[in-house]
Structure 1
Amino acid sequence: MMTLFKRFLSSSLATWIALTFLSMQGELYAKDGRPPNVIVILCDNLGYGDVGCFGSKLHRTPHLDRMAAEGMKFTDLYAASGVCTPSRAALLTGCYPARVNMHKSETGGAVLQPVSSKGLAASEITIAELLKPKGYATTIIGKWHLGDQLPFLPTRQGFDSYYGIPYSDDMTPRPGKPWPDLPLMRDEEVIEAPVDLNAATRLYTQEAIRFITENRDRPFFVYLPQAMPGSTRAPYASEAFQGKSKNGPWGDSVEELDWSTGQILKTLDLLELDEQTLVIWTSDNGAPRRNPVQGSNEPLKGWGYTTAEGGMRVPTIVWWPGTVPGGTHCAEVASLMDLYPTIARLAGAELPPDRVIDGKDILPLLQGESGAKSPHQAFYYYMFDQLQAVRSGQWKLYLPLRNPKGGWQQQKEAFAQPRLFNLKEDLQEASNVAEENPEVVQRMMRLAAKIQEDLGDDENPGPGRRHAGHFPQPTARNLPQ
C-alpha cells in the first residue's frame, strides 16, 4: 500500500511539474491534451451599444447576453482603425495597419475597392499561418476585404478554405462604379453572382456549423467575419428576421447575428467542445453615422469611420467555459491586435522573430487573473496614416493637427490645440482637461513621438513600415464562363 501511495505521489508530482513547465512555455491545453479551438466572430459596423449586454434597449440579443453572463465582457477593447480594411488587417497580423501598409487603398481611399491592385502582402504571417504548423484546421467564412486578386485571397494566407464575399456589401455596380456583381466565393472560385445578401448570415452560420462538426476531432480555427449589419443603408436579414425588430432593417440584422452566435454556441455544447473552445465575439469598428440613426455607439462619443471612442472602441465578449470566468468584465485597455499573440500562446506557436508585432498577450486578462493589467503603455488611434490620438491608462489625448483626416473635416478648429479627456469619467469626451494636466499632455506627446518615429506618415514613412502586396493587372472575380 505504501509503495502504491509513493507511486501516486510521484505520478502527481510529475504531472504537476509537466503542467507547470507547459504553463511556463506559454502553452495551455484543453482537457484532452490538444490545444484549444478558436472561433473569432467579427461583425461589420456593429456599434458598441447595439446589443443588450452592452446597453441596447432596442435589440433583442438573448444569446449574446447569455454569452456575456457565462463569459467576460471587454469594455475598453479597440479595433486598430475606424474602418474595415485596416481593422481586419490589424486583427489578422497583430500590427497597426500602417505597419503592414494596409492603412489605405492604392487610390488613397480608406478601404480596398473591387478589382484592386493592392492587398495584404504574402510575406505577412496571419493568425491562420501561425496555427497551421500546430495541426489546426483553418477556415474563413464571411467578408475578407484584404484584396480580391488571387495572390491576396484567404487560401493564400493560411486558410484551408474560404466561403464568403471578398469585400463590402455596398460595393456593387452602379453609375460611376463599373464594378462586377458582388460575388459569393468558395475557396478561389465564384459560385454565385450577385450574392443574395439576405441569406448571408444564415448561410455563413450553416457553413460554420458544418466546419466545426467535420473538424471536431482536431483543433480548429474559425474566422467568421460576418457581412452584417454592413455598409448599406438598408441592412440585410433572412425572411425569418425581416420586420421583426424594433429598429428596422438594422435591428433585424443585429437580431439575426445574435441568433447566429447562439447556433454556434449550441453546436459547441452538443459536440461537448465548449470547454475546449475559445469564442471571441466583437466588431470591426463602430456604427457609422446615419440619418435617420440606425446603429448605436452609446454611451461613447461619435461614430464609425472616426477616431472617436464610438469609432474604434468595440463591444467584445470572450467565452470559454472553465477558463474564462463567467459573469465578469475587464476594463483594461486591449486591442483586436492582441488576439494574434494571445492565440499564438494558446496554440503553443512562436511569434515571427523577424518582425515587430504590436499586439500583446492578454491571456492573464482573459483568465481573470487577480491584479492583471493592460500590457499596453499606449494605444494609438490612426486615421489613414495620420496619428490622431493616444490613450494611456485613463487618459486620451487628441494631438494638435492642422488638417484632421477622415470624418473630422468639419472640426479643424477643435483639432488646433491638444485635447485631453479622462475616459474613466467622461465617455462622451466632453470636458477637455489639458490645461489642468500639462504633465499628462507632455507624457502622452512623448508617446506619440515614439510611434511616429517608427511608422511616420505617407510623406515621411518610418523605418517600421512594411510593404503591401501589389498585383499589376487586377481582374474581376466573376462566375466561370
Structure 2
Amino acid sequence: MSSDPNRPNIVLVLADNLGWGELGCYGGGILRGAATPRIDELATEGLLLHNFSVESDCVPTRSALMTGRHPIRTGCRQSVPAGFPQGLTEWEETLAECLKENDYATAHHGKWHLGDIPGRYPSDRGFDTWFGIPRTSDETQFTSAIGYTPKVAELPYIMKGTAGQGSENVCIYDLDKRRLIDEMLVEQTKDWLTKRVEEQEAFFLYHPLVHLHFPTLPHKDFAGTTGQGEFADSMAEMDYRLGQIIDHVDNLGVRENTIFIFASDNGPEFRPPYRGTAGPWSGTYHTAMEGSLRVPFIIRWPGRIPASTTSNQIVHVTDIFTTILSMTGSRVPSDRPIDGVDQTRFFEKPTEIKSPRTGFLFYIKEELRAIKWKDWKLHYIWEPKVNKSSGRLESPYLFNTVRVRDPKEETDILAYNTWVLQPMMKLKGEFDKSLKNDPAPPDPLKQL
C-alpha cells in the first residue's frame, strides 16, 4: 500500500453492460427489481457523474480506458471472435505500463478483451498478474449450443498469468462457471490486496466485473433472491461483489489514500431477456444515442474529492487514463496524441470548477456517427435502435440533450440552431487533422 498522498492507491472496478438507469443512485435500483445499497452508499461517499461518456461497446471502451486514446486511433474498434487478430498493438502504452514505470504493483482480475494471444494478455501489458477471461461471456454458451464442437470454434477458458512467465488456462468457461466467476474474481482481488498492504506497496487494481453481460446468470446464493428474475438477481450480486471489494479496502486500513472508481464500459444490452435500461436516455450500446454514451461513474477519494456530490459536466472515458496518471504523479506518453484530458481539479472541486472537456467525436468502427458538444448532439447517421439505421443523413439531426428539453433525442432543431455547427466543426477539424498525422492500424477482420 501507499500512505504517500502524492502516490495514492487505485482501485478501478468496471461493470459490463451496466446501463445508466439500473442503479438506485441513478433512479433505478428497486424500481428495476433489485436494490443496490452498496453502490448507492459509495455514491454518497464521493462524486457521481451524470454525464460520463464511453465508447460504443466492450472493446472500444476498454482500449480507450487503457490508453487514453479513442479506438479510431488504436484499431480496437469492435469485439472480434477468437482466432482473429485483435487487441492492443505492442506500440500502445497502457495505464498499467505507465503506473508500473512509477513503481506501482498492478493486477487485473476480470474481463480483458484487449488481446488473446501471447504478447497481448494483461500480464504482457503492464500487469504483474492477471486472472479472468481474455474475451467475453457469451462464449460460455458454446459448450451447450447445438452443433458446437471445439474443432470449429475454440473452447473458452478462464485464464491466469504472471508477467514474464506467460499465461495459461485454468478451466473451461462454461455456463456453470459463468455463475461463479464474479465470486472467483473477488477472492483473487482480496488476496492480492492483502499482500500489497502487507508489503507496503502502492497498487493499481483493475477489476472488470463480468456482470451484467449476457448470459446474465447469478451465483446460486443470489438465484431467486429478488423474485424478479435472473437479471435482477445478478444486479443484487453485482452490488454485493462491489461491496466486498469496498469493505476489504476499508478493513485493510487503506481507505483514506485509495482512489476508488466504479463505472460501466457501455450502455445496456438490447437483447431480451437480458435487456437493460438507460433510464431517461434513449438507446443501447452499439448506437450513438445518449443511452449508449452515458453510463454510471462514481469516484471516491476521502479528503480530496467531496462526498455526496453530483455533476452533469462532460467527462469521457479517455480522461480516466490521463487523470489517474496525473493523480499518481506518473508520466503521460508524449510521443502520440492522447485524447484524455486531466480532470483532477474538476474532480476535487466539482461545484466550483467546470470540466475542461466541452465535447468529443463518437465513432462506431470507422464511421463518425455523432459529435457531442456541451448540451448539444449532432447525428450524421441515424440509428436510434441497433440494426434500425436509416443511413447517412443528408442534413444531420441536432438535439439538445438536457433532460427537461429532449433527453430522448426526438426533435431535430438544427434549422433553428445552425450556430452550433461552428464549435462542432472546429472540434471535428482539429480531430481530423490529428488522425491524419496518427493513422490507425487496419481493421482486424480485414487482416486475414
Larger CA Rg, structure 1 vs 2: 1
1:439 pairs with one of 389, 399, 419 = 419
Could you tell me which residue of structure 2 aligns to residue 101 of structure 1?
75
**Letter aligned with residue 365 of structure 1:** F
Match of 1:295 in 2: 276
Contact residue 247 and residue 294 of structure 1 kept, 8 A: no
1:72 aligns with 2:58: no
Partner of 1:87: 61
Match of 1:136 in 2: 104
Matches within 5 A, 1:153-192: 153-172=121-140, 173=142, 174=145, 175=147, 178-187=152-161, 188-192=167-171
Indicate which of 401, 420, 429 corresponds to 2:398.
420
CA distance in 1, matches of 2:196, 2:45: 25
Q: Which residue of 1 aligns with 2:35?
A: 60
Residues 217-252 of structure 1, C-alpha deviation per residue, up to 9 Å, x if partnerless?
A: 2111011111111133xx122111112225421111
Deviates more, 1:272-281 or 1:405-414: 405-414
**Paired residue for 1:210?**
191
Any idea what SS the aligned residue of 2:424 has? helix
Counterparts in 2 of 1:406 and 1:372: CA distance versus 1, 3 Å: same
Paired with 1:472 and 1:396, the residues of 2 have a C-alpha distance of 31
Give the alignment's TM-score, normalised by structure 2. 0.90
- Encode CA deviations 1:354-412: one digit per residue, 9 max, x unaligned: 1110001001121125531222232111111111111111111112x4xx689555331
Deviation, 1:120, is 0.6
Q: TM-score, normalised by structure 1?
A: 0.84
Give the superposed CA RMSD: 2.5
> 1:63 Cα shift?
0.2
Structure 2 CA distance, aligned partners of 1:257 and 1:168?
17
Q: Is the 8 A contact 1:383 1:406 kept in 2?
A: no
User: Which residue of structure 1 aligns with residue 326 of structure 2?
Assistant: 345
SS of the aligned residue for 1:119 comes to coil
* Residue aligning to 1:394: 375
CA distance in 1 between counterparts of 2:385 and 2:148 reads 23
Determine if contact 2:311/2:350 at 8 Å carries over to the other structure: no
Correspondence 1:77-476 to 2 at 5 A = 77-79=52-54, 81-103=55-77, 110-172=78-140, 173=142, 174=145, 175=147, 178-187=152-161, 188-195=167-174, 196-216=177-197, 217-232=200-215, 235-292=216-273, 294-399=275-380, 401=381, 409-412=387-390, 415-424=393-402, 425-455=405-435, 462-467=436-441
Change (3 A) 1:416 1:244: farther
> Structure 1 pair 416/252, CA: closer, same or farther in 2 (3 Å)?
farther
Identity of paired residues, percent? 31
Change (3 A) 1:439 1:190: same
CA drift at 1:83: 1.0
Kindly tell me the number of residue pairs found equivalent between the two proteins: 428
Question: Compared with structure 1, are the counterparts of its residues 468 and 272 closer, same or farther at alpha carbon in structure 2 (3 Å cutoff)?
Answer: farther
Mark the runs of 5 or more structure 2 residues left unpaired by the alignment.
162-166
